[in-house]
Structure 1
Amino acid sequence: MGQFAENLSPRFFAGRMLLAMPGIGSPEFDQAAIALCVHDEHGALGIDIGKVIAGLSLRDLLANLDIDGEGLESVPVLRGGPVDPQRGFVLHSLDWGGQDAMQVNAHWGLSGSLDVLRAIAERRGPERYLVSLGYAGWDAGQLESEMKRHGWFLGDAFTPDVLAIPAQSRWAEAFAASGVDARLLAGTSGMA
């Protein structure tokens, strides 16, 4: 409990949503809905759960790894972020734990090894999961600095309910869960 409890302290935000504000100034992060998986004194790592890679299903991804993904044609693969886009990550329920699985919050874990993909393909993996390629990463202090400027909004924890929301709606829904109507946000400001 010690390390997990530390991650929930006001200083670190692992397990929460990091939402790009309109006008963030980077097309890579336009309407990004990032599930912060790691955030500590060494930096941060998150997975954007709001952008699907068009034309790529989990079955296609598994076929490239010589894993039979029969029945997984309708499972999308997310664009997790601009860093290391060939590297895969799986956000998953805590009913599964593999060789490198780490707990992110009370509902989700993160894995980055082939054993979780094999388990999903063999129907012995986690009950709930999101598969992504790439991630968003920040060096020590970088995210905190960016959060002080216009660009990021710290949302609530990401819960299992996120799976019921279409990927393209997760950004607005995460704002709504924090009591913010994303339609009312402006990317620029004026002068009085």
Structure 2
Amino acid sequence: MFCRTMARRAPKAPPPPTVPLVEEGYLAGQLLVAMPTMEDPRFARTVICLCAHSAEGAMGIVLNKPLEGLSFDDLLGQLGLDPVPPQRRIRLVSGGPVEGGRGFVLHTADWETEGSLRVSEDVALTASVDILKAIAGGGGPREGFLALGYAGWGPGQLEAEIQQNAWLNVPADAGLLFGRNAGDLWRQALGKLHVDPGALSGFAGHA
């Protein structure tokens, strides 16, 4: 799993899974949309792709927090990967408050390598430098972005937050997952539910 050498310390949380955790009644592969009443400022107006969810906990990647102060070229240089400058670049996001030095690429499932986690039929998550080498060389998946850090929940924690009206869940699609307009993603995701953000204060989460 690739890491930034100057990573900040992050709070402890369940480690990201290395095998798919998709079970009936769980939300892996869907999007979590923060309610306006979200009290944790780290997740205010966030949209998260839930990559794994089971009785053991959950793990997801925040989609709409662009990473400041680091470019794809910079990251390749830190990891000693060629070519720099690359033949192809992908955007970087802050994937969540847990282990901000660990890198993940959320991408279309037309490219995979050993250890890739299949999030859904069309989406995968890869933490190997192989994917960065492929992208830098002009190949790799059709769509994708690199996230530093992730969001993690312990057993039953996410379910409790949904019951407390902290999140809505929304079916994922390529436009929401890989669109470039991060600033409007929260409203776009709510739009799939035909919900006015101004009317959400009493809107119950649904799992």
- TM-score normalised per structure 2: 0.80
One-letter code of the match for 2:123? Answer: W
Partner of 1:174: 189
One-letter code of the match for 2:139? Answer: R
Q: How many pairs does the alignment contain?
A: 182
Conservation of the 8 A alpha-carbon contact between 1:58 and 1:75 = yes
Partner of 1:19: 33
Conservation of the 8 A alpha-carbon contact between 2:89 and 2:135 = no
Secondary structure of 1:56's aligned partner? coil
Aligned equivalents of 1:126 and 1:74: distance in 2?
12
Q: What is the deviation of 1:91?
A: 0.6
Instruction: Point out where structure 1 has 5 or more consecutive residues left out of the alignment.
Output: 188-192
- Give RMSD over aligned pairs: 2.2
Cα shift readout 1:112-143 (whole Å, capped 9, x = no counterpart) = 11111111111221111011000000011111
Partner of 1:190: none
Aligned equivalents of 1:167 and 1:100: distance in 2?
28
1:74 to 1:118, Cα distance in 2 relative to 1, 3 A: closer
1:69 to 1:26, Cα distance in 2 relative to 1, 3 A: farther
Cα shift readout 1:163-186 (whole Å, capped 9, x = no counterpart) = 234112211111111222224434
Aligned equivalents of 1:90 and 1:32: distance in 2?
18
- Which structure shows the higher strand fraction? 1
- Which structure shows the higher helix fraction? 1
Q: What is the deviation of 1:55?
A: 2.9
Q: What is the deviation of 1:23?
A: 2.1
Percent identical = 36
Secondary structure of 2:68's aligned partner? strand
Instruction: Point out where structure 2 has 5 or more consecutive residues left out of the alignment.
Output: 1-18, 203-207
- TM-score normalised per structure 1: 0.86
Q: What is the deviation of 1:29?
A: 0.4
Secondary structure of 1:143's aligned partner? helix
